[in-house]
A and B are shown apart, each in its own frame.
Chain A
Amino acid sequence: MRDSILILILGMGIVTFIPRFLPMVFLTRWVIPERLKMGLGYIPIAILSAIVFPILFFNEGGKVEIQPHYLLSAIPVFIFSWKVKSLWASVILGMLVYWGLGFVL
Chain B
Amino acid sequence: MSDGQFRDGAKAALPIVLGYLPVGIAFGVLARKAGLTPFEAGSMSILVYAGASQFLAIEMISKSISWFPIVIATFFINLRHLLMSSTLSLHFKGHRLRTLGLLSAQLTDESFAVAMSNPSNISNRPSFLFGLQMISQTAWVAGSVGGALFGKLIDHKEYGIPFALFSLFICLLVIQIKKVHHLWVMVIAGIFSIVFKWALPGNWYILLTGILASGIGIALEMAGRDKR
Q: Give, as a whole number of angstroms, the nearest-CB distance from A100 to chain B.
A: 8
Q: Is there contact, CB below 8 Å, between A87 and B15?
A: yes
A residues in contact (CB < 8 Å) with B = 1-2, 4-5, 7-13, 15-29, 32, 35, 37-55, 57-58, 62, 64, 70, 73-74, 77-78, 81-82, 85-88, 90-99, 102
Known contacts A42-B218, A47-B80, A64-B198, A28 near B173 by CB under 8 Å:
no
Q: Give, as a whole number of angstroms, the nearest-CB distance from B96 to chain A.
A: 10
Taking a contact as CB atoms closer than 8 A, the residue among B84, B167, B194 that contacts A47 in the complex is B84
Residues of chain B contacted by A46 (CB below 8 angstroms): 185, 189, 209-210, 213-214, 217
Q: Give, as a whole number of angstroms, the nearest-CB distance from A55 to chain B.
A: 6
Q: Is there contact, CB below 8 Å, between A35 and B218?
A: yes
Q: Once A and B bind, how many residue pairs between them come within 8 Å at the CB atom?
A: 279
Q: Is there contact, CB below 8 Å, between B15 and A44?
A: no
Asked if B85 CB lies within 8 Å of chain A CBs, one says yes
Q: Give, as a whole number of angstroms, the nearest-CB distance from A66 to chain B.
A: 11
Asked if B109 CB lies within 8 Å of chain A CBs, one says yes
Q: Is there contact, CB below 8 Å, between B109 and A51?
A: yes
**Identity of the chain B residue whose Cβ is nearest the Cβ of A21 in the assembled complex:** B104
Asked if B154 CB lies within 8 Å of chain A CBs, one says no
Chain B contacts with A in 38-91, Cβ cutoff 8 A: 39-40, 43-44, 47-50, 53-54, 57, 61, 66-68, 70-72, 74-75, 78-90
